[in-house]
């Protein structure tokens, strides 16, 4: 009988999802085996030493519980001692009980007998069960045992409910931790469900897609989104996503896929997608992660550019140097002693070695600029004198007329070596991109705040689209590609001028109508000296 009771209760109590359901299961079982006219189920909170009544039953009516501090009654005694208590005649053995019914506060009920048993977990008292009757002598020792068996089952269920509650708290904590991770992630992340509908995206994804929350409908597949209202970038990404989502739905992950966004500025995204599966292994959608790798790609491209430039531009001087050195050796071994001949061979070697070292400096400068490490050391510099000096050096081989319209004495604090590099670059471009016999004019104008340098030619010219892109690293306009070059010179010059606190721009009336490259430098130093050039790419 008792065993039957316990196993039945086991299944009843095991189904309880909360303490209220457990109370009902306990009451039902108790009243099968004993008088449970009044029935009480309470938990004990050790920390506050209070008894928390879960529910009470009195003559078939369920009352909500209350709480009271551990006191002198039988309930408190059982909690304190951990031992069950049989009260045969309440009036003789203890005080009348004032029940804590919310509806009839303070009602005095006078049960005549009762059993109170602890709900134990090892030595710890989790709470109590109490059955009472308005009849005296309603209980005997066997009832104590029965109620203790019911209490043992109650103990197991309470523990289980506490674990579940703990798990719910843990689950919530994990969810909020995950939320925080997603929000601070630099990578964009999308979660799609089994139907391929977007159910979640983080801040980075929203930024990348340029979507405000209103333009994306959560829970709808991509093809049902109002894509025509999405910004171009988002539409391009969405187009790339369709096959990825389809693959996820059929259980295929993707790794290391790259998408190039062509509209507007070139952007490269790397994408990875992993399938989420149910415990049985059925695909349940997946997680898609994007990363903007444009910067990384640009750096790789720069390295390739530099390598190509180094390969291309160094091959010639190295061949020439080797040729002349061999020639010199041969002459010496043949007994050639004419100092003029030997000198001319040696001079050629020196000249090409200089050329090589200049090339190496340019390569180094570009990579320093890229890394934000190009330093500027301003000293008093006469820009007029510097311009004359640079043009003088180039005139001999120019095969074009070079005119200089420069005031003397435009002195400011600039890095002479760096400005020399800028002038040399602009001037050699003007010569390179204009026909033999034409004129290149360098002019200097100054007001009290700044000086402006203009290098004008009568060459191939530039259209508006080209003018807008000239200063991007590696840019070369179509008509210029017939001539050698790596598209790094203007990028570098612009970096130097910007680091001086100046500005650089170009003007042209169009193809075949010549161009003018201009830059200004401040005459009073308003910018920080000796600071590295910022990467403006
Ligand atoms: P590179 O001359 O090695 O190509 P630059 O950075 O100096 O590299 O110039 C970038 C591009 O700007 C050139 O490829 C050319 O298209 C354009 N450019 C520069 N200077 C001139 C000029 N004086 N006239 C016309 N186009 C020019």
Q: Which residue among 265, 292, 319 closes a domain? A: 292
Q: From the centroid of its chain, how far is CA 14?
A: 45
Same domain for 248 and 273?
A: yes
Cα-to-centroid distance, 383 and ligand 1 (Å): 23
The answer to whether position 179 is within a domain reads no
Kindly state if the Cβ of 477 falls inside 6 Å of ligand 1.
Answer: yes
Structure tokens at 172: 């919530």
The answer to whether position 173 is within a domain reads no
Same domain for 13 and 112?
A: yes
Kindly state if the Cβ of 37 falls inside 6 Å of ligand 1.
Answer: no
The DSSP element (H or E) to which 521 belongs, if any, is: strand 515-522
The answer to whether position 199 is within a domain reads yes
Same domain for 499 and 396?
A: yes
The answer to whether position 405 is within a domain reads yes
Same domain for 96 and 240?
A: no
| Residue 288 lies in domain | 186-292
Q: Which residue among 110, 131, 166 closes a domain? A: 166
Cα-to-centroid distance, 492 and ligand 1 (Å): 12
Residue to substitute in 398, 440, 478, 487 for testing ligand 1 pocket (most ligand atoms within 8 angstroms of CB): 487
Same domain for 429 and 363?
A: no
> Roughly what angle, to the nearest 10 degrees, separates helices 416-432 and 489-499?
150
Cα-to-centroid distance, 317 and ligand 1 (Å): 23
pLDDT values of the chain reduced to their tens digit, one per residue, 537 residues: 555 555 566 566 677 888 999 999 999 999 999 999 999 999 998 888 888 899 999 998 998 878 888 888 888 999 999 999 999 987 777 665 555 444 444 455 678 899 999 999 988 999 999 999 999 999 999 999 999 999 999 999 998 888 888 878 888 888 788 888 888 888 889 888 888 888 888 888 888 887 765 677 777 787 777 777 787 878 888 888 888 999 999 998 888 788 887 766 678 889 999 999 888 888 888 999 988 888 888 778 777 777 777 777 778 788 888 998 999 999 999 988 888 988 988 998 998 898 788 778 877 887 788 777 788 899 999 999 999 999 988 888 889 999 999 867 789 999 999 999 999 999 999 999 999 999 999 999 998 899 999 999 999 999 999 999 999 877 889 888 888 777 888 998 999 999 999 999 999 999 999 999 999 999 975 444 433 333 333
Looking at residue 534, what DSSP letter applies? P
Contact 269, 178 (CB under 8 A): no
Kindly state if the Cβ of 362 falls inside 6 Å of ligand 1.
Answer: no
CATH number at residue 257: 3.30.450.20
Task: Tally the residues of the chain.
Answer: 537
Among 402, 452, 406, residue whose Cα is nearest residue 424: 402
The DSSP element (H or E) to which 12 belongs, if any, is: helix 2-14
Cα-to-centroid distance, 81 and ligand 1 (Å): 95
Same domain for 499 and 425?
A: yes
Cα-to-centroid distance, 313 and ligand 1 (Å): 17
Kindly state if the Cβ of 374 falls inside 6 Å of ligand 1.
Answer: no
- In the chain, the number of structural domains is 4
Rounded distance between C-alpha atoms, residue 89 and residue 135, angstroms: 9
Same domain for 246 and 321?
A: no
Rounded distance between C-alpha atoms, residue 188 and residue 208, angstroms: 7
Contact 65, 29 (CB under 8 A): no
Same domain for 314 and 332?
A: yes
Same domain for 47 and 94?
A: yes
The answer to whether position 433 is within a domain reads yes
Kindly state if the Cβ of 511 falls inside 6 Å of ligand 1.
Answer: no
Whether this prediction's pTM lies above 0.95 is answered by no
What are the backbone angles phi and psi of residue 149, rounded to the nearest 5°? -65, -40
The answer to whether position 220 is within a domain reads yes
Rounded distance between C-alpha atoms, residue 150 and residue 167, angstroms: 26
CATH number at residue 140: 3.30.450.40
Same domain for 277 and 332?
A: no
Cα-to-centroid distance, 441 and ligand 1 (Å): 17
Strand partners, 189: 289
Q: Which residue among 313, 338, 370 closes a domain? A: 370
Same domain for 496 and 517?
A: yes
Kindly state if the Cβ of 241 falls inside 6 Å of ligand 1.
Answer: no
The answer to whether position 180 is within a domain reads no
Same domain for 142 and 223?
A: no
Cα-to-centroid distance, 358 and ligand 1 (Å): 19
The answer to whether position 234 is within a domain reads yes
Residue to substitute in 425, 427, 433 for testing ligand 1 pocket (most ligand atoms within 8 angstroms of CB): 433
Measured CA to CA in angstroms, residue 520 lies from 259, 369, 445, 505, 508 at distances of 40, 20, 9, 9, 18
CATH number at residue 435: 3.30.565.10
Contact 251, 273 (CB under 8 A): no
Strand partners, 382: 411
């Amino acid at each position: 009988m008792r065993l039957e009771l316990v196993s039945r209760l086991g299944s009843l109590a095991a189904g309880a999802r909360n303490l209220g359901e457990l109370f009902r299961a306990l009451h039902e079982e108790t009243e099968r085996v004993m008088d449970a006219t009044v029935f009480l189920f309470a938990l004990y909170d050790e920390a506050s030493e209070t008894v928390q009544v879960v529910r009470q039953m009195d003559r078939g009516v369920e009352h909500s519980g209350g709480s009271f501090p551990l006191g002198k009654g039988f309930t408190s005694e059982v909690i304190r001692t951990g031992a069950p208590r049989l009260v045969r005649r309440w009036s003789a053995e203890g005080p009348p009980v004032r029940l804590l019914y919310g509806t009839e506060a303070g009602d005095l009920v006078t049960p005549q007998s009762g059993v109170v048993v602890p709900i134990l977990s090892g030595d710890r008292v989790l709470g109590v069960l109490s059955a009472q009757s308005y009849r005296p002598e309603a209980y005997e020792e066997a009832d104590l045992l029965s109620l203790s068996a019911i209490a043992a089952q109650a103990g197991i269920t309470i523990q289980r409910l506490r674990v579940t509650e703990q798990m719910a708290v843990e689950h919530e904590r994990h969810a909020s931790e995950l939320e925080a991770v997603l929000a601070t992630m630099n990578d964009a992340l999308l979660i799609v469900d089994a139907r391929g509908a977007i159910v979640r995206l983080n801040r980075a994804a929203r930024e990348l897609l340029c979507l405000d929350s209103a333009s994306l409908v959560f829970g709808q597949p991509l093809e049902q989104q109002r894509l025509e209202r999405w910004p171009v970038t988002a539409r391009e990404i969405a187009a790339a996503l369709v096959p990825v989502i389809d693959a996820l739905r059929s259980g295929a992950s993707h790794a290391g896929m790259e998408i190039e966004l062509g509209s507007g500025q070139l952007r490269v995204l790397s994408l990875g997608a992993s399938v989420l599966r149910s415990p049985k292994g059925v695909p349940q959608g997946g997680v898609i992660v994007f990363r903007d790798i444009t910067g990384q790609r640009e750096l790789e491209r720069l390295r390739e550019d530099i390598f190509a430039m180094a390969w291309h531009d160094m091959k010639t001087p190295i061949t020439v140097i080797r040729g002349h050195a061999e020639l010199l050796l041969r002459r010496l071994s043949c007994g050639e002693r004419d100092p003029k001949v030997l000198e001319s061979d040696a001079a050629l070697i020196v000249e090409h070695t200089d050329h090589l070292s200049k090339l190496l400096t340019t390569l180094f400068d570009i990579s320093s600029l890229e890394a934000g490490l190009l330093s500027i050391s301003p000293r008093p510099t006469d820009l007029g004198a510097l311009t004359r000096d640079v043009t003088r050096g180039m005139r001999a081989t120019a095969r074009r007329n070079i005119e200089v319209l420069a005031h003397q004495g435009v002195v400011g604090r600039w890095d002479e070596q760096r400005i020399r590099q800028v002038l040399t670059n602009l001037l050699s471009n003007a010569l390179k991109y204009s026909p033999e016999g034409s004129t290149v004019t360098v002019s200097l104008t100054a007001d009290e705040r700044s000086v402006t340098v203009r290098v004008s030619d009568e060459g191939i010219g530039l259209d508006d689209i080209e003018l807008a892109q000239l200063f991007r690293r590696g840019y070369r306009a179509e008509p210029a590609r017939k001539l050698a070059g790596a598209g790094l010179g203007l990028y570098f010059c612009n970096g130097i001028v910007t680091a001086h606190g100046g500005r650089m721009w170009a003007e042209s009336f169009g193809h075949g109508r010549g161009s003018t490259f201009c830059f200004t430098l401040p005459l009073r130093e308003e910018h920080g000296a000796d600071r590295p050039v910022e990467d403006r790419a």
